[in-house]
Amino acid sequence: MRVRRIWGGLLAAALIVTGLSAAPAGAATKVTPAVDVGSWPYGALTDGSVWIGTAKSEWQAGSGLRAPAVDVGSHDTLLAVESGDHYASLGRSGVAIAGGSVLRLDIAWAPVSWSFVDASGRPSEFDGWWRCVGPQVEDQAGGRLRSRDGRATVAGMPVGAGWTCWVARNRLDEFSGRVRVGEGASLVLDTEGGDLTVRTPDTTAPVVTGRTTVRPNRQGWHRGPVRVRWSVTDDSGAALRVADTVLRAQGERTVRTDWVRDAAGNAGRGSLTVRIDRTKPTVRVRGVRQGATYRKGAVPARRCGASDRLSGLAKACRVTTTGGDRRGLGRFTRTAVAVDRAGNKAVARVSFVVRR
């Protein structure tokens, strides 16, 4: 029988390791526990075995699932089943056997999709096995794994604490690429050179980052054309490049790259906001007029006005007065200065005369 062939060594080892024991002496009542394979995802069972203590019961296709009749009491159990190319076994230590008891293959299963690629990333055919082991030496599951056009789907692999799974070309050994199985997991196998290396699929888009070749000022503005240099990083490690962008137009503008795609088809794009202001603010001296003459004591106060339509004024304009003699008479010049946030500076001057 196939179950005996598959698990002969496994069951024997399990019996030795776990110390399966016979029913306690003096127990008179015998029961026949029911067998429940739970959410077994691989169709109708074809073969199976139930060990309770040292008693063993086997079934074959169509014969039903029957455990051996055992004394009521405390026993160690091992339930092993097979369906086509898939198998599972689960140990239960110290199960209390009583009327109506159920032996359950209590494994949580999750479907897993697999991709198989060669060294160049192209779909690769694969014919091998998957295998999982659980918290106890008896806890095992496995099955055939074949790819079609580089892809394969496993109806269920064990999930939960303590379960670890492998994939390999050989059913019994040469397993490599330990993986953690989770709901909806998708894994990629690189079949280059006959060795299997499990790696997670590249589902992350490339990250495109832009920096200006000349740093802006503290206010974030440039006073001339700007070159943006883009860099691309990707989980695949591939060298992806994006051409530089040169900006000349004034104002605040967000520049975006074209979409960048990696070998897995993931697409990403970069963006960067650039501010350019090459234009001086507008500034004027207020109060006095160019070439005017004023009497001493009647000269208008110092005032100025300024504006900037792009980056805005860094601060209010300033006015200074120069000229004249010690008596406060003669020719004077008032100078107004304004600076915008980009650092552009504008100056305006007005000359006038003061007499007695």
pLDDT greater than 70 at residue 179: no
What burial class does residue 114 get, using C-beta atoms within 10 Å of its C-beta: 0-12 exposed, 13-18 middle, 19+ buried? buried
pLDDT at position 334 over 80: yes
Based on the fold, state whether residues 99 and 112 are members of the same structural domain.
no
309 and 248 in a single domain? The answer is: no
Please compute the mean of the pLDDT values over residues 31-54 and round it to a whole number.
Answer: 80
Instruction: Give the tens place of pLDDT for each residue, 158-170.
Output: 877 777 777 776 6
Claim to verify: residue 230 and residue 299 sit in the same structural domain: no
**Segment 66-97, tens digit of pLDDT:** 777 777 776 778 888 888 889 998 887 555 66
Tell which wins on pLDDT, 153 or 195: 153
Do 96 and 7 fall into the same domain? yes
Give the strand pairing for 318-323 and 330-339. antiparallel
Considering the domain architecture, whether residues 288 and 305 belong to the same structural domain is answered as: yes
* CA 114/CA 122 separation, integer angstroms: 14
Work out the percent of the chain whose per-residue pLDDT is above 70. Answer: 76
Q: Are both 28 and 55 inside the same structural domain?
A: yes
φ, ψ for residue 304, nearest 5 deg: -150, 165
- 96 shares its domain with 112: no
Range 183-209 average pLDDT: 59
pLDDT value at residue 290: 96
Choosing from 276, 308, 323, the residue where a domain stops is 276
> Using CA atoms, how far apart are residues 211 and 271, in angstroms rounded to an integer?
10
Instruction: Give the domain CATH number at 6.
Output: 2.60.40
Q: How confident is the model at residue 199 (pLDDT cuts 50, 70, 90)?
A: low
Tell me the range of 18-32, 53-67, 160-174 where mean pLDDT is highest.
Answer: 53-67
Is residue 77 located within the same domain as residue 24?
yes
Nearest to 166 by CA among 178, 154, 158, 156: 178
CATH number assigned to the domain comprising residue 298: 2.60.40.10
Mean pLDDT for all residues in the chain: 79
Instruction: Tell whether 133 and 157 lie within a shared domain.
Output: yes
Kindly report the CATH number assigned to the domain that includes residue 162.
2.60.40.1120
Domain boundary among 199, 225, 257: 199
> Would you state the pLDDT for residue 79?
83
Confidence at residue 1, expressed as pLDDT on a 0 to 100 scale = 40
- Express each pLDDT in 134-151 by its tens digit: 888 889 999 988 887 777
Rg over alpha carbons for the chain, rounded to the nearest Å, is 42
The parent domain of residue 16 ranges over 2-104
Of 247, 276, 305, which marks where a domain is finished? 276
Residue 108 pLDDT grade (very low, low, confident, very high; cuts 50, 70, 90):
confident
State the total domains in the chain: 4
What tokens were used for 91?
């140990």
Do 85 and 35 belong to one domain? yes
67 and 97 together in one domain: yes
Kindly report whether the global pTM for this prediction surpasses the value 0.85.
no
Whether residue 249 sits in one domain with residue 313: no
What pLDDT sits at residue 160? 73
